[in-house]
Chain A
Amino acid sequence: MPDSATAGGFLLVFAIVLPVVGALLSLVLGGRHAERVTLILIPAGLAVAVAIAASIWRTHGMLQYFVGGWDPPLGVAFRADGLSAVMLVTAALLICGIGLFARAQFPSPRGAEKRAPSVFWTLLLTNWGALNAVFIGGDLFNLYVALELLTFAAVPLVSLDGRPETLAAALRYLLFALFGSILYLLGAVLLYGVYGTLDIVLLASRIRAEPAAWAAIALITAGLLAKAALYPFHLWLPPAHAGAPAPASALLSGLVVKAPFFLVVRLWFDVMPKIPERAAAQVLGILGAAAILFGSAVALRQARLKLLIAYSTVAQIGYLFLMFPLAIKPEAGHPWSTFAWTGGVVQAISHAFAKAAMFMAAGLIAEGLGHDRIAGLAGIGRALPISVLAFGLGGLSLMGLPPSGGFVAKAMLLTAAVAEGQWWWALVVLMGGLLAAGYVFLVLARSLAEPLEPLRLSTTISPCRQTIVLVLALGAVLLGFVPLEPLELLQIGRPDIAIDRLK
């Protein structure tokens, strides 16, 4: 861990500042220019993310930056390790796809400023800035402000169309998120009270196994679980993600809900590696298993496509938390724990691509049909073949079938579960895959069925938008070519983890 700011650390500042300044610019210039500002900033932000990843890969070390030149614990640090870099690039790529897709849905009018496009583009930029701030934040309070920014930027996207259902969903989302924030803050306050710092690296060196630390970690984790919609805190997610417009749903399910998960990973693996927490990790695993089984089962019973996809998100988030009991081992550097850790991260990334593609495909289908009832999907396979193909490819990842990132992730989790003797998680992964196959095939079968009368779309859907969706789905498929072993990039910056090449 470097003791001072590293060269290239300034890139971390740009990762946050570019989107945020863009959002402020959109606010001032007026909504007509918001779209233009976003489209200019997307390649810039992507370049910054790639540059950060390249810098980390080249030096095989973390990037670190002390804002204002003040060292922690007095000042705030930004840090990027391999995991941060991967999440930054994922976010940039997804925002690129979402932005290009949404151009047709939220066009900027020539005349007076219109509400929906101005709000959408400004909030898209803000979400991006807040996500980056979460991925590179090195201070618990700075992360609290970033999390709040993320929540406050995501909630209005849910209620963008102004219907009472979406307003109610947005309010419920906000209340759950505020609840999570307060728990998080309480935990952070306790940590400061005992250890005198909120910096992640310093906390890792000062933290000891004592009741105050356990309580603080439990509180912070509980708060983050509420924000990540892990069972039993999942109630807010399906109506919120289903009620938002399709590109916003892609953002929410793909990225926004991963940010609190990212912080739980940071907290458990970077702040507390010395504290044994196997029992607590099992609790997280049980909640994850419940999410997988419950979410998938309820998804099967949905009548509306977007709600089905939203419940599928609830289930797939469960896979993320299965990683904890498998990756936490008292003996650091155990190869299977690294395996499971990599599997969890690959699951987060591939789900981001797959779910974004599925939500956007569902959006196109709903636009074309005028509704999103699953029973009425017959014939859409012929009318919008690219969209249905994208949906299917995304579904591959959810089911865990090769080639897809989801397969890699689930295979890694399965292998780790069996190798470590925690075979019950393997059962859950397999069951989850079966249930996912159930609801994906349900939709595909309906889509490919012959309609009773020839299907006429209410609006024409441009093949350009369908292609963007397909490209995102292919992203999830491409991740399937990731080798089934701990990735070196992800291991950069991880403390005390040895990479063992498995025979």
Chain B
Amino acid sequence: MSAAIPYGLCSAVLVGLGLFGLITHPQPLRKILAFNLIGSGVFLLFGVIARRGAAVGFGGDPVPQALVITGLVVAFAGTALAVALLLRLVDETRRGTLRDE
């Protein structure tokens, strides 16, 4: 438990930081960056939980670790789709924000 406390607190701060970036940046690309930051925080929390589950000679509980790998791949797919949409939107309108309706 004690080994992973710093990373647990780190994940909490990362979630808050990412959320702050999400709220305060109007540009979609910065929002996507912020999403990735929040996601990293959530995954890190999962990793802390995995570390706490160390047993039977494993350094950590393998199930959360595997789920984080799956989550990382799915998050990458989401980022790729969002970036492609954004680039296409910018190409079509030559502007960079969501403010225009």
Question: Within the complex, are A and B direct neighbours (CB within 8 Å)?
Answer: yes
Query: Which residues does A use to contact B, with CB under 8 Å?
Result: 74, 141, 144-145, 148, 152, 155-156, 159, 162-165, 167-168, 170-172, 174-175, 178-179, 181-182, 185-186, 189-190, 192-193, 196, 239
Roughly how many angstroms separate A74 CA and B98 CA in the complex, as a whole number?
43
Within 8 A of A (CB), among B56-101: 63-64, 67, 70-71, 74, 77-78, 81-82, 85-86, 88-89, 92-93, 98, 100-101
> Are the C-beta atoms of B92 and A189 separated by less than 8 Å?
no
Bound state CA distance, A148 and B79, in angstroms?
12
Interface size on B (CB < 8 Å)? 33
Contacting residue for A189 out of B22, B35, B46, B53, CB 8 A: B46
Contact at B78–A178, with CB atoms within 8 Å? yes
Report B93 CB to chain A, min CB distance, Å: 5
A189 & B85 in contact (Cβ 8 Å cutoff) = no
A182–B28 touching, CB < 8 Å: no
- Let me know if B49 and A167 touch, CB within 8 A: no
Q: Bound state CA distance, A167 and B74, in angstroms?
A: 22
Chain A residues contacting B22 (CB-CB under 8 Å) are 179
B71 touches A185 (CB 8 A): yes
Contact of A171 among B71, B86, B101 (CB under 8 A): B86
Report B29-47 CB contacts with A as 1/0, cut-off 8 Å.
Answer: 0011001001100100110
Which 9 pairs between the two chains have the least Cβ-Cβ distance?
A193-B49, A167-B89, A164-B92, A171-B85, A164-B93, A189-B46, A186-B42, A148-B74, A182-B38
In whole angstroms, how far apart are the Cα atoms of A192 and B88 in the complex? 39
Q: How far is the CA of A175 from the CA of B31 in the complex (A)?
A: 8
CA A270 to CA B101, docked complex, whole Å:
41
The 29 listed contacts between A and B (C-beta, < 8 Å) are A74-B63, A141-B67, A145-B70, A148-B74, A152-B77, A159-B88, A167-B85, A168-B93, A168-B98, A168-B100, A170-B85, A171-B82, A171-B85, A171-B89, A174-B78, A174-B81, A174-B82, A174-B85, A175-B28, A178-B35, A178-B78, A181-B78, A185-B71, A189-B42, A189-B49, A190-B45, A192-B49, A196-B53, A239-B101
Bound CA–CA A152/B84 (angstroms): 12
Contact of B39 with A155 in the complex, beta carbons under 8 Å? no
> Of B74, B86, B93, which contacts A145 at CB under 8 A?
B74
How many Å from the CB of B22 to the closest CB on chain A? 7
Instruction: Give the interface SS of chain B, mostly helix, strand, loop or mixed.
Output: helix
Q: How far is the CB of A189 from chain B (nearest CB, A)?
A: 5
> What's the Cα separation between A355 and B64 when bound, in Å?
40
On whether A182 and B35 interact (CB within 8 A), knowing A167-B88, A171-B98, A189-B46, the answer reads yes
C-alpha spacing A407/B28, complex, angstroms: 42
- Given pairs A167-B85, A171-B98, A192-B64, 10 additional interface contacts (CB within 8 A): A152-B78, A163-B92, A164-B92, A171-B85, A174-B81, A182-B38, A185-B71, A186-B15, A189-B46, A196-B53
Contact check, B42 vs A185: say whether CB atoms are below 8 A apart: yes
Residues of B within 8 A of A144 (CB): 71, 74
- A180 smallest CB distance to B (angstroms): 11
A182 to B31, CA, bound (A): 13
- Counting chain B CB atoms within 10 Å of each CB, which of A74, A163, A170 scores highest? A170
Contacting residues, chain B, for A152 (C-beta < 8 A): 77-78, 81
Question: Is A155 touching B85 in the complex (CB atoms < 8 A)?
Answer: yes
Shortest distance in angstroms between B94's beta carbon and chain A's nearest beta carbon?
A: 10
Question: Nearest Cβ in chain B — how far from A473, in angstroms?
Answer: 32
> In whole angstroms, what is the CA distance A23 to B85 when docked?
22
Query: Would you give the 0/1 interface string for B19-32, flagging 1 where the beta carbon is closer than 8 Å to chain A?
Result: 00010000010011
B98 contacts which of A155, A172, A186, A196 (Cβ < 8 Å)?
Answer: A172
**Distance in angstroms between the alpha carbons of A163 and B89 in the assembled complex:** 9
CA distance A239 to B93 in the complex (A): 17
Does the CB pair B39–A182 fall under 8 Å?
A: yes
| Closest Cβ–Cβ distance, residue A155 to chain B (whole Å) | 7
B38: nearest chain-A partner, CB-CB: A182
Q: CB-CB < 8 A to B85: which residues of A?
A: 155, 159, 167, 170-171, 174
Task: Please report the C-alpha to C-alpha distance between residue A174 and residue B71 in the assembled complex, in whole angstroms.
Answer: 17
Chain A minimum-CB-distance residue to B28? A171
A165→B92 CA distance, assembly (Å)? 10
Which residues on B sit within 8 Å (CB–CB) of A189?
A: 42, 45-46, 49, 64
A186 contacts B81, CB within 8 Å?
no
**How far, in angstroms, from A182 to B93 measured CA to CA in the complex?**
29
Closest to B93 in A: A164
Nearest-neighbour CB distance to chain B for A165, whole angstroms, equals: 8
B81 near A167: Cβ-Cβ < 8 Å = no
Within the complex, the shortest CB–CB distance from A237 to chain B, in Å, comes to 14
- Chain A residue nearest to B94 (CB atoms) is A164
Cβ B82 vs Cβ A178 within 8 A? yes
CA separation between A182 and B22, bound complex, in Å?
A: 12
Residues in B neighbouring A156, C-beta threshold 8 A: 81
B45 touches A186 (CB 8 A): yes
Residues of A close to B53: CB separation below 8 A: 196
Distance A168 CA – B64 CA, assembled complex (angstroms):
35
